[in-house]
């Protein structure tokens, strides 16, 4: 099997940011992304998603390492100070390299 290494960027943050993040990803040239609802607990307390301002999303992007770092840096500069947000990078193997540039 012919596999290629790409970077998976996962962002977990307040649902309030969804529209802004999607606009950012489009502008920075992400090849695609997956959004899902999330619940959990972090340094900003329980984020139970029971109330609309407590809603959380998980955003996943698979792309080239360089782009993933650029997006992560942008998020850190723009949102870390005032919003509940974590993001992390991981190496993943994909079958169709051209889909995840």
Partner 1 sequence: MGFDPVVMFFVFGLLAGLLRSELKLPPALYETLSIVLLLANGLHGGVELAEQASPALLGQSALVLLLGLTLPLLAFALLRSLRFDRVNAAAMAAHYGSVSAGTFAVVVAYLGARQVFFESYMPLFVAILEIPAILVGIVLAKGVSRDTQWKELGREIFLGKSIMLLLGGLIIGLLAGKDAIKPLEPFYTSMFKPVLALFLLEMGLIASSQLGTLKRYGVRLAIFALLMPLLGALIGALLARLMGLSLGGTAMLATLAASASYIAVPAAMRLAVPEANPSLSLTASLGITFPFNILVGIPLYLSLAETLIAMGL
Choices 28-36, 45-53, 59-67, 88-96 (CB under 8 A): range interacting with partner 1: 45-53
For 7, the token pair is: 């970077």
Give the whole-angstrom CA distance, residue 59 versus residue 88.
11
Choices 3-11, 47-55, 67-75, 89-97 (CB under 8 A): range interacting with partner 1: 47-55
The helix/strand count (H/E) of the chain reads as: 2, 6
Which one of residues 12, 14, 21, 47 is an interface residue with partner 1 (CB under 8 A)?
A: 14
Give the whole-angstrom CA distance, residue 31 versus residue 41.
30
Contact 8, 93 (CB under 8 A): no
Which one of residues 50, 66, 77, 98 is an interface residue with partner 1 (CB under 8 A)?
A: 50
Q: Is 82 in the site for partner 1 (CB under 8 A)?
A: yes
Interface ranges with partner 1 (CB under 8 A): 14, 16, 19-20, 49-53, 82-83
């Amino acid at each position: 099997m012919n596999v290629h290494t790409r970077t998976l960027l996962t962002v977990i943050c307040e649902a309030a940011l969804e529209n802004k993040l999607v606009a950012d990803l489009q502008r920075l040239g992400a090849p695609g992304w997956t959004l899902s609802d999330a619940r959990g607990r972090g340094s900003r307390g329980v984020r139970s998603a029971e109330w609309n301002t407590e809603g959380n999303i998980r955003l996943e992007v698979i792309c080239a390492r360089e782009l993933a770092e650029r997006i992560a840096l942008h998020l850190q500069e723009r949102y870390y100070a005032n919003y509940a947000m974590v993001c992390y990078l991981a190496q993943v193997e994909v079958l169709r390299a051209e889909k995840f540039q």
